[in-house]
Structure 1
Amino acid sequence: MKLIKFPLFLLLLISVVGFSQTPTDFLTKEFHKERRDILRLKMPKNTVAVVFSNSLKNRANDVDYVFHQDPNFYYLTGYREPNGVLVMFSENQVDANGDTYNEILYVQKRDARAEQWNGKRLGVEGAKSKLGFKITMNSDEFEKSSIDFKKFNKVFIDGKFKDDYRNLRGIDIFDLVESFKQKTNYKPDNYISQVKMYFYSQIKDTPLENRANVVAVIKQYQNQYTELQKDKFIQGYIKAKDENLVKEMRQKITLAMNPKTIVDVDFLGATLADMREIKTPAELKLLTKAIRISAVGQIEVMKAMKPHMSETELQGIHEFVYKKYGAEYEGYPSIVGAGNNGCILHYIENNKTKVGNDLVLMDLGAEYRGYTADVTRTIPANGKFTKEQKAIYNIVYNAQEAGIKASVVGASFGAPNAACKQEINKGLFALGIIKSLDEKHNYLPHGVSHYLGLDVHDPGTYRAFRANTVITVEPGIYIPEGSPCDKKWWGIAVRIEDDILITENGPVNLSAEAPRKSDEIEKMMAKKSVLDEFVLPNLDK
């Protein structure tokens, strides 16, 4: 066969077109550099931060789960591969040649055989050009590096190591973490969290005659912070039967408050939570797209849903829409619960074979370029709410309206929750499901808001709301079978969840595209679906 010669410019054009077939709307390298610069300004003098990428997780035998990068690592680097380390210094360092630097990114080494099986790696040169780092090295150089961590006042890491890393062939995250532990003399028992440090201080500084007050406060909080239950010094202080034992515990606590370690496990996570709480315009663009994709998924399922469908099939329609828009992942395991299954808050089995005439609670979110939506709609499988279903639904809708209205700059993080619960109680009381407005019940067992961003439950400060924060407002009513109310309410579960941008001009519902009012849902469900004619062969015959 005769080979055709193409002009050079045409070959270049073909090359460019070929490379352009991958997504180009990720966050820019300038974004990630700016994040590092801001973090560096917040670091105390003579400190260093060491951030590790996520590790590969085994699914079964020689199959791994699809890799997902650690959000904090991605936020600071843009690197989407395993076996990476970021080292950031508070001040410029000087290398052997007299050149200055303030950060190093270690990445997994290029490997032709590994790339043949698992895809191309960025490598050192790719990390420089694509991610904008001045100094990049192969990850095995981290093991060999001459960085003297002990010369710094503090070494910041992002929380305690979970010690669940697999030890694979070659240099992997297991080796990198072990190397770090040796270089810094890291020992988990050396560290005191901010919560424990607070109570240690209270114990140390409180006179013996006021010990009962401290014990009462600790008991109040130890169900919330289980580490207080496990701490031998705190529990020894609580259980001490005489004054000598109390003094002994206080002495041990005083010594423990000054551990011989340079590694700090709290600063980095808290500082990044504060940064990530406020979204930049670039982040809001991606997050809004993830949310709109998820809203469109809800709309398409409203049109396609039929009583004969299974929960799994409905999940598949949602996730097909996500993929159609180019979303890489689901932000979390999809929840599709019909009838009583909707009363299970994190129901992910989705294995009911027919949704019938039940309400179907659908809590799903697309992840687009790292940012995750979280949108819930509850709709009647047959297209029409019953009287009882609509009564419960409208209570939740009114509660959500109140919660969204309360989501304003300067309000406390708990303001939407308080507003929603007040409306829920009013509605349940009016229906006779609870006997008084202040009755304790379990029909709304969760808070109604969390931050949203790179994580579905994004980190944040939980202080008063600030502009350009995105939260969820997701009230619900869940009446499982056997509840202490009229049986006609049993098996009804309703949650409505929207993603709210807090601005100086008030809250903006980013997921409003998906109908929320009961009559609007019924109108949408009456529309024809593009999937109505999509019929697959029966494989059981």
Structure 2
Amino acid sequence: MFKKIFFYFFILTISITVAQTPTDYLSADFHKERRAILRGKMTKNSMAVIFSNPIRNRANDVDYVFHQDPNFYYLTGFREPNAVLVVFSENQTDANGNTYNEILYVPKRDARFEMWNGKRLGVEGAKSALGFTMAKTSEEFATDAIDFKSFENVYIFKFSDDYRNSLGDNGEVYDLVTAFKDQSEYHKIKIEHPNVEYIHKAIANVPDAKLEEIAKGLSKNIDKYPELKEDTFIKAYISADTDALRKELKQKIKLNLNKRETNIDLKFLPTILAEMREVKTPEELKLLTKAIRISAVGQIEVMKAMKPNMSETEIQGIHEFVYKKYGAEYEGYPSIVGAGNNGCVLHYIENNKTKLGNDLVLMDLGAEYRGYTADVTRTIPANGKFSPEQKAIYELVLKAQDAGIRVCKPGNQFWQPGEQTKQVINEGLAALGIISAPSEKHTYFPHGTSHHIGLDVHDPGTYGAFRENMVITVEPGIYIPEGSPCDKKWWGIAVRIEDDILITKNGPVNLSAEAPRTVESIEKMMAKKSILNDFLLPDLD
């Protein structure tokens, strides 16, 4: 009797908990439509096999908080580990005469597991909540023995190397991937080193007039890349002493790139998903815009709260507190808070400077809300007022950003904002005497200007022409580390301004404009009283 009472109490508790969870995730219809679009792009007699992310270990018996693979989530809405999605180009028929064109394999329900780790959807939940007509347990993926070899194309993503084998559980991603490799033609795949593949493609596409130039460039740099020295084609290409031989090798490399020894295709899914994900639907834009606005509010609250005696970690904490207050599940990427010279480290995440002093503080952070990630950067003076040098650099970056944003229009090329920002910055640095002329090579602006955002902070895309409903960043920066070859008064100044821009037929829309971005508006916001001013904790020393 006690066991029955405990079981019913446990189920009731789970039901109450579920009723209080967020309800504004993407709809099951959204994911179903994504799968239909993917299916429509697949060749006849083909299938796609897509695996969820694995659980990754943090230390000893503690794992990292699980985060679903964005492509898997995009196609399924499933947020749990140890699952597989199989999509078929045409209808299949099972032994009972049922037709289906997709299967979602998910972990089975287990009351004891759920007592420790929370409710899982299971097979029935995958059907009722996610809209799959055919769902099975993860363990059945191996025993179903799908005849992968009978399909013309089997589309997969390249596998990671960090799948853990915990033993005793046949439904882990490790086991699922192993089963697929054993039952398919995976062993026939020849996976080239990325650098080798890149050089092969470069040679295959280079105009004949530049064949010798490419060979000379390779010859000069090959010692830096051992993997290139081991490749037969590249070695032969460097050794070739006539254009006739180089042309012959170019053709052989082309044939090798297109050679098929297996029905497994590693290129289709990354290409198609990039095309699909780079343009956002209204449903996606609603969630992405909320993530961006949350991040902008975080910047505003920090502007009001910042004081010279604060630490980088404390500033990070205020941003992330705002995210949680709005119900954002995660940060979209490791938070960057760099004061002074720390801001010159592009991906600085230590955030361990204990006093901000009078430095500029570069804050590159983004909330992740229902899977969608913002990416917003502001740079502000810790003491509330820009010095003349800080102001000069800041306003130059802002001018460059404005120029970059202006060209974010349908039909323009993805590289155009970068071209505009670099031109403004080079001319401005020369005018300030930091470089001798706009044409001088330097490392004060060493990165690109734009990337897509969405389910990833660096969302996949084709990076061709802008299309309506893309959301991209525009993020120029100037970084002058201590010891730079310029007047010392500029040393330690780092400025990046990053906004999230929606491409529309009527011109660019700055979705993160809520966060002040001019010198005047930043200083005005920093003069306001913060609700955190009276939030004092006891001294522990």
Q: TM-score, normalised by structure 1?
A: 0.91
Distance in 2 (alpha carbons) for counterparts of 1:209 and 1:479: 40
Q: Distance in 2 between matches of 1:526 and 1:266?
A: 53
CA distance in 2: counterparts of 1:192 and 1:96, whole angstroms: 40
AA aligned to 1:114 is F
* Aligned CA distance change for structure 1 residues 419 and 248 (closer, same or farther; 3 Å): closer
Deviation at 1:47, TM superposition (A): 0.5
Amino acid at match of 1:464: A
Q: What is the match of residue 376 of structure 1? A: 377
Match of 1:167 among 165, 168, 171: 165
Residue 185 of structure 2 corresponds to: 185
- Is the deviation greater in 250-259 or in 23-32? 250-259
For 1:321 and 1:233, the matched residues in 2 are separated by: 55
- Partners of 1:207 and 1:430 in 2: CA distance: 39
Task: Give CA-to-partner distance per residue, 1:393-440, whole Å, 9 cap, x none.
Answer: 000010110010011111110110011111111211111111111111
- Note closer, same or farther for the CA distance 1:266–1:514 as it changes in structure 2 (3 Å cut): same
RMSD value, Cα: 3.0
Shift of the 119–222 alpha-carbon distance from structure 1 to 2, 3 Å rule, reads farther
Structure 2: how far apart are the matches of 1:257 and 1:59? 40
8 Å CA contact 1:472, 1:497 repeated in 2: yes
1:76-125 residue CA offsets vs partner (Å, 9 max, x unmatched): 00000000000000111111122211000000111122211111111000
Give the structure 2 partner of residue 7 of structure 1: none
CA distance in 1, matches of 2:472, 2:94: 44
Conserved in 2, the CA contact under 8 Å of 1:365 and 1:375?
Answer: yes
Please say which of residues 161-170 and 464-473 is displaced more in the overlay: 161-170
What residue ranges of structure 2 are gaps of 5+ in the alignment? 1-11
Question: In 1, distance between residues paired with 2:470 and 2:141?
Answer: 36
Deviation at 1:236, TM superposition (A): 2.2
The CA distance in 2 between the partners of 1:220 and 1:144, in whole Å, is 53
| Residue 385 (str. 1) matches residue 386 (str. 2) | yes
For residues 399 and 136 of structure 1, do their structure 2 counterparts lie closer, same or farther at Cα, with a shift above 3 Å needed?
A: same
SS in 2 for 1:168: coil
- 1:117-196 to structure 2, matched below 5 A, reads 117-158=116-157, 160-169=158-167, 170=169, 171-187=171-187, 189-191=189-191
Instruction: Check 1:133–1:209 CA distance in 2 against 1; reply closer, same or farther (3 A cut).
Output: closer
Structure 2 Cα separation of the partners of residues 202 and 337 of structure 1: 38
Shift of 1:199: 6.6
Asked whether the 8 Å contact 1:123–1:138 carries over to 2, the reply is yes
CA separation of 1:26 and 1:181: change in aligned 2, threshold 3 A: same
Deviation per residue, 1:32-89 (Å, 9 max, x gap): 0000000000011111000000001100000000000000000000000000000000
SS across alignment from 2:417: helix
Q: Residue 415 of structure 1 corresponds to which residue in structure 2?
A: 416
Identity over the aligned pairs, expressed in percent?
65
SS in 2 for 1:187: helix
Alignment of 1:89-488 (within 5 A): 89-158=88-157, 160-169=158-167, 170=169, 171-187=171-187, 189-191=189-191, 212=212, 215=215, 229=228, 232-240=231-239, 254=255, 257-488=258-489
Contact 1:228–1:234, Cα closer than 8 Å, also in 2: no
Q: Supply the distance in 2 between the matched residues of 1:283 and 1:155 (Cα, whole angstroms).
A: 29
2:204 and 2:495 map into 1 onto residues whose CA distance is 49
| 8 Å Cα contact 1:361-1:494 kept in structure 2 | yes
Tell me the secondary structure at the aligned position of residue 464 of structure 2. coil
Counterpart residue type for residue 260 of structure 1: E
Residues 308 and 356, structure 1, Cα contact 8 Å, conserved in 2: yes
By how many angstroms is 1:249 displaced? Answer: 10
Q: Whole-Å Cα distance in 2 between the matches of residues 195 and 361 of structure 1? A: 33
Q: Distance in 1 between matches of 2:272 and 2:216?
A: 31
Q: Any idea what the Cα deviations from partners look like across 1:150-189, whole Å, max 9, x if unmatched?
A: 111110002x212210002402000000100111131375
Secondary structure class of the residue paired with 1:307: coil
Cα separation, partners in 2 of 1:467 and 1:255, compared to 1, 3 Å = closer
Note the alpha carbon deviations across 1:190-241, whole angstroms, 9 max, x for none: 24699977975887899999963663587799999x7983661332222436
User: In the alignment, which residue of structure 1 is the partner of 2:498?
Assistant: 497
Q: Quickly say closer, same or farther: Cα 1:208–1:532, change in 2 above 3 A.
A: closer
On the 8 A contact 1:157/1:263 being kept in 2, the answer is yes
CA change 1:93–1:353 in 2 (3 A) is same
CA–CA distance in structure 2, aligned partners of residues 19 and 220 of structure 1: 62
Distance 1:222 1:142 in 2: 44
**In the superposition, relative to structure 1, how do residues 188 and 67 fare at CA in structure 2: closer, same or farther (>3 Å)?**
farther
Is the CA contact 1:54–1:70 (under 8 Å) kept in the aligned structure 2?
yes
Q: How far apart, in 2, do the equivalents of 1:230 and 1:119 lie?
A: 52
Residue 250 of structure 1 deviates from its aligned partner by 7.3
**1:436-460 deviation per Cα after TM superposition (whole angstroms, max 9, x unaligned):** 1111111000011000000000000
Question: How far apart, CA to CA, are the structure 1 residues paired with 2:130 and 2:381?
Answer: 47
Alignment of 1:512-531 (within 5 A): 512-531=513-532
CA distance in 1, matches of 2:409, 2:515: 22
